[in-house]
Chains A and B, each alone.
Chain A
């Protein structure tokens, strides 16, 4: 009986159910946090024993990247302070870092909990069809959502431990719809513009030559528009307010703390990240997007000096929207014309598997520059639905330091 049910489930869920007990799947958010702590514990594993370091060849030693010894940083500062005109720090390092990223995410299909729903399941066929209208069917259904962003990020190292950063995203979103509203059988809405600008300060701590911790505190400013309008079935004659998914910003000041642990053992680099997005207050449209809690574990392998494949498991938990934009509701017993206009049909838990390749020029002035390509898809999703389900995501980033 169980086999019959599983045969109709998506591949990733079937594989997951073979690999993990069902209780683990149900409590995946706790396990994601456990993975994070486990990865933090790898710190000890990643340390290179002193005997190993003592056996390093002269060539490797002369080629090694030297970082400041924090154990005697006070002594260094004292020495440097005694010299006029010498900048703090006696190592030459690259203080400016820039990255340009392109991110592409596609949503296709629907989910309620972990169950797939078809567009027909979610589309209410209209008053003449005889189909009953409920809280889970809608006259307007987004079928495919494409989100693309170009993100420019700059960072400046104030010292070897502290950095300042600024991130500016440019977003384009496109949503294809079907509807049972006459004249709007299928239509597409596009919104684009700058998103929320984020400023941050980072503190980097090296436990030893192989293990480091980066603590970042970011603040996102409500520079992205929450007043995007477009032609929707709500009014065929003029543009009206678009749903939450088509807006470019949160409209609130958001606090974004993160902790990134990175370790290294031989040709392997690995790490764990914990990123939070904590919304504050409500925006001018009287709603607040849900908080986002993300954890990653990842590893990268130096296959050659110019290419490093990586694998990353990304877990995300996000809350539903608080409050409501009344301008996207309609009068009557069913105020939400589409699932994406109901603030309670946001939030959920998902886990993505992402595969990446990092390319770098090991020599010359491009030594600290790399190009990273990453693609992935969800292996687990539990959504407060009906809610559009992620199909895949892709990103490419160019990172420069000088």
Chain B
């Protein structure tokens, strides 16, 4: 047994001295809301806004419309940069239509208000994103979902193009569904 014991102790020493240098392998674990916030942030990075976008010194605003839990998760990206602008998180806790932002995240309980405001929003350079299939079917541009414990997204490309946005082809090939 002595050689085996020596080998085991050597293996112990080696294992403890190993540094994490190799490529990552196992799946990373992420909380649902954090994952959704990060995916929306990434989609915004891969989207080109129409020319009438706000000036470059203005903040890049994500508006969370009466969704405090998701807004909390968005705090992690506050202050980061996208399209050369600082990200700001706007919590809108009123039922009025959020304007003056680049991305609006619409929860299920704002569906009726969204339907009423849809035409008005279509005329603005605002990317409409939701985590609810009902809202996506009602005309939101991007749907974020969790399917089989993985994040996925679908894009209503017709609505996206109608509002003057362009979404990178590299991003679209990861989409679960692209509605033309």
Point out residues on A near B: beta carbons under 8 Å.
Answer: 11-12, 15, 50, 53-54, 56, 58, 60-72, 75, 79, 90-93, 206, 208-210, 264-269, 299, 301-305, 308-311, 353, 355, 362, 375-377, 379, 391-392
Contacts A58-B174, A301-B18, A353-B12: A66 and B24 contacting too (C-beta < 8 A)?
Answer: no
A304 to B26, CA, bound (A): 8
The contact of B29 among A50, A64, A90, A392, by CB within 8 Å, is A64
B125, chain A: closest CB distance, angstroms? 23
11 A-B contacts (beta carbon < 8 Å): A12-B5, A61-B42, A63-B28, A66-B30, A71-B31, A71-B73, A299-B16, A309-B15, A355-B8, A355-B11, A377-B1
Q: State A12–B7 Cα separation when bound (angstroms).
A: 12
B30 near A302 with CB under 8 A, answer no
Q: Which residues of B contact A304 (CB under 8 A)?
A: 22, 25
Check if B149 sits within 8 Å of A58, measured CB to CB: no
A379 to B1, CA, bound (A): 13
Q: Say yes or no: A392 contacts B1, CB within 8 Å.
A: yes
- Which range contains the number of B residues in contact with the other chain? 35 or more
In the complex, chain B residues whose CB is within 8 Å of the CB of A61? 30, 35, 38-39, 42, 151
- Please name all residues of chain A whose beta carbon is closer than 8 Å to the beta carbon of B29 when the two chains form the complex: 64-65, 67, 209-210, 264
CA–CA, A63 and B38, complex, Å = 13
Residues of B within 8 A of A (CB): 1-2, 4-6, 8-9, 11-12, 15-16, 18, 20, 22, 24-35, 38-39, 41-42, 46, 68-70, 72-73, 75-77, 80, 108, 146-152, 171, 174
Contact of B20 (CB < 8 Å), options: A50, A267, A353? A267
Q: A65-B149, A66-B31 are in contact. List 7 more A-B contacts (CB 8 A).
A: A62-B151, A92-B149, A209-B34, A302-B25, A304-B25, A377-B1, A377-B4
Q: Is the CB of A91 within 8 A of B80?
A: no
> What does DSSP make chain B's interface, helix, strand, loop or mixed?
helix
Do A71 and B72 contact each other (CB < 8 Å), given the known contacts A53-B30, A92-B148, A209-B29? yes
Give the Cβ gap from B7 to chain A, nearest Cβ, in Å: 9
A-B contacts at CB below 8 angstroms, number: 154
**B2 close to A62 (CB less than 8 A):** no
- What is the CA–CA distance of A71 and B73 in the complex, to the nearest angstrom? 9
List, in ascending order, chain B residues with CB within 8 A of A269's CB: 26
CA distance in complex: A21, B73 (Å) = 48
Residues of A within 8 Å of B149, CB to CB, are 65-67, 91-93
User: Residue A68 contacts which of B4, B12, B32, B77 (CB distance < 8 angstroms)?
Assistant: B32
Contact between B31 and A209, CB atoms less than 8 A apart: yes
A53-B76, A72-B69 are contacts. A65–B25 as well, Cβ < 8 Å?
no
> What's the least CB distance linking A142 to chain B, in Å?
18
- Known interface pairs A69-B73, A71-B69; A62-B12 also in contact (CB < 8 Å): no
Instruction: Find the residue from B22, B24, B29 having the highest chain A CB count within 10 A.
Output: B29
Q: In the complex, are the beta carbons of A54 and B80 less than 8 A apart?
A: yes
Contact A12–B9 (Cβ < 8 Å): yes
Known A-B contacts A53-B30, A53-B76, A305-B25; A62 and B38 likewise in contact (beta carbons under 8 Å): no
Q: Please report the C-alpha to C-alpha distance between residue A375 and residue B26 in the assembled complex, in whole angstroms.
A: 23
B9 touches A15 (CB 8 A): yes
Shortest B157–chain A CB gap in Å is 18
Distance in angstroms from B161 CB to nearest chain A CB is 21
Report the nearest A residue to B68, measured CB to CB: A72
Closest to B46 in A: A58
**Minimum Cβ distance to chain B for residue A273 (Å):** 18
Chain B residues contacting A375 (CB-CB under 8 Å) are 8
Report A-chain residues with C-beta under 8 Å of the C-beta of B147: 92
In the complex the two chains form, what is the Cα distance from A64 to B12 in whole Å? 30
**Complex Cα gap A375–B24 (Å):** 26
Residues of A within 8 A of B32 (CB): 66-69, 91
Q: How far is the CA of A311 from the CA of B14 in the complex (A)?
A: 10
Residues of A within 8 A of B11 (CB): 311, 355
B12, B27, B68, B76: which contacts A355 (Cβ < 8 A)?
B12
Q: How far is the CB of B146 from chain A (nearest CB, A)?
A: 5
If A62-B151, A65-B29, A67-B30 touch, whether A267 touches B22 (CB-CB below 8 Å) is yes
Verify A301–B20 contact, CB threshold 8 A: yes
A79 vs B131: C-alpha distance when bound (angstroms)? 13
Q: Is the pair B25, A362 in contact by a Cβ cutoff of 8 Å?
A: yes
Closest to B147 in A: A92
Assembled-state Cα–Cα distance A265/B28 (Å): 10
Measured CA separation A53–B26 after assembly (Å): 16
In the A-B complex, the 3 residue pairs with the closest CB atoms = A72-B69, A50-B76, A302-B25
